[in-house]
Amino acid sequence: MRQHFIFLLLLFFFLSPLHANEYSDKYTLGRGVTLYEKNQLQLTLAGHLSLKYKTSYFDTIETTINTTNHFGIENAAIMFYGSYTSYFSFLLEYGNENLFSYENSMLQSDTTSSQNLELRRFYTDITLDESVNLKLGRFLIPIGIYNPTYINALRWSNIRPLVAEEFFPDIITGVQLHGTVAQSIEYSIFTQLQNSEAVSTSRIPISKFSGGELRYTFGLLSRVALNYGQYKSDTFKEICVFGGANTLVELDESEFSAELLYKDGKWGTNTTTQTWWKDLSWYTQYVHNIYEKQYLSFRIGQKIRDGVNKASWDERNVIGGYIYRENSALSYKAEFRHLERTGGKAYTSDEVHISFSVLF
């Protein structure tokens, strides 16, 4: 816990320039502190922090009703990155998701929990050519829109869509080949080199994983992409194959995005007792700039599971939100989500999520 305290003090050291009228030449909010910069040699210290409050009302068909209040540090990390030449760069990110959380529930006594600090991302990027870059280390899976931008400060929503949950692991230790061809075609191909089953925070512990995404980019961040992947988990005795598509279109005052993924999974090695399932999930999101720094967001999504020897269900949700973005690196978000699940473990829930997030 003392380690967490020192870590948070360091993060708040970053926050202190927020109160100054003028930032020094070395610091810009959202761009980190430039430790050294001369020609191609650059070293930057940065970080991010997100605080979140959630209150939810949960109702199952079996008449279990519960209300919970949850407050926590959703994600916090210090980043250190740099480049030695235009051909070699590196990044280290130390921190974690859910560093601290407190939950007050109608049915249970109050609980607090915390995740250990860890080296969440570390990699070197070697640029052989604009079209051929080699990334080695631990990195975010470059698939979809939400997964590569996992921190709250970079997103329009506090709530990860269902399509970004449990379809594939968020981070792997491995190698990635990526680049841009003909100015508008981007590709990423990756494979796992280290078994992640021992990594405590891995969303899905896996022993083998490979995949890729092909993107057509236009404008600044607009894109249309296709992806594919497959993984094996010895812990869960699962073998899964997935594929999908996503798009993001930036307009003058608004942004539209959508993701779709399909997964085919099977569990167990004995053919007579084998369990298999098919998951399909999608969402569409629309964000509109209503006035100066204020935005409204709207999202609908669904996740359907069709299982054999495994529960089948259909989960649908709708989210409406308000975002105040003081600048691109600092935002306040308030959202309401209604979720309904039919089939196995049916329930409905209503949630309110409020957050403050900043990129240093």
Partner 1 sequence: MKILLLFLLLFSTIKAEVYVVIIAKSCDGINTLNLKEIYLKKQKSNSNCTLVPLNFQANNKIREIFVQNQLNISNSKWSRYWDKMHFKGVKAPYIVSSNEAMLAYITQVPGAIGYLPKAIVQNSTHHHSLQIVSQFQSH
Binding positions for partner 1, rule: CB under 8 A: 25, 28, 30-32, 37, 39-40, 42, 44, 46, 48, 79, 81, 83, 85-86, 89-91, 125, 127, 130, 149, 151, 153-154, 180, 183, 220-221, 250, 252, 327-329, 359
State in angstroms the smallest separation of the CB of 263 from partner 1: 26
**247 contacts 227 by C-beta, under 8 angstroms:** no
Distance (Å, whole) CA 184 – CA 222: 10
Please identify, using beta-carbon distances, which residue of 106 and 185 lies nearer to partner 1.
185
State in angstroms the smallest separation of the CB of 327 from partner 1: 7
Please identify, using beta-carbon distances, which residue of 81 and 94 lies nearer to partner 1.
81
C-alpha separations of 133 from 166, 170, 190, 224 in Å: 28, 21, 12, 21
Q: Where are the beta strands (DSSP E) in 106-221?
A: 111-113, 118-129, 132-140, 171-181, 185-192, 208-218
Please identify, using beta-carbon distances, which residue of 125 and 351 lies nearer to partner 1.
125
State in angstroms the smallest separation of the CB of 64 from partner 1: 40
∠ CA 79-80-81 to the nearest 5 degrees? 120
Nearest to 244 by CA among 203, 213, 276: 213
Stated length of the chain: 360
Please identify, using beta-carbon distances, which residue of 81 and 277 lies nearer to partner 1.
81
State in angstroms the smallest separation of the CB of 246 from partner 1: 15
Please identify, using beta-carbon distances, which residue of 153 and 206 lies nearer to partner 1.
153
Please identify, using beta-carbon distances, which residue of 23 and 298 lies nearer to partner 1.
23
Q: DSSP code of 116?
A: P
**8 contacts 95 by C-beta, under 8 angstroms:** no
Structure-token match 């003392």, residue found:
2
Please identify, using beta-carbon distances, which residue of 130 and 166 lies nearer to partner 1.
130
State in angstroms the smallest separation of the CB of 283 from partner 1: 20
State in angstroms the smallest separation of the CB of 163 from partner 1: 20
State in angstroms the smallest separation of the CB of 202 from partner 1: 20
State in angstroms the smallest separation of the CB of 265 from partner 1: 30
**58 contacts 90 by C-beta, under 8 angstroms:** no
Please identify, using beta-carbon distances, which residue of 173 and 317 lies nearer to partner 1.
173
In the chain, the N- to C-terminal Cα span, in Å, equals: 23
Structure-token match 């308030």, residue found:
334
List the structure tokens of 214: 């092909």
State in angstroms the smallest separation of the CB of 40 from partner 1: 7
State in angstroms the smallest separation of the CB of 156 from partner 1: 10
Enumerate the H helices of the chain as residue ranges: 2-15
Distance (Å, whole) CA 357 – CA 11: 12
Please identify, using beta-carbon distances, which residue of 194 and 328 lies nearer to partner 1.
328
Please identify, using beta-carbon distances, which residue of 25 and 110 lies nearer to partner 1.
25
**325 contacts 359 by C-beta, under 8 angstroms:** no
∠ CA 135-141-146 to the nearest 5 degrees? 130
Distance (Å, whole) CA 150 – CA 142: 11
**153 contacts 358 by C-beta, under 8 angstroms:** yes
C-alpha separations of 145 from 87, 155, 269 in Å: 26, 10, 34
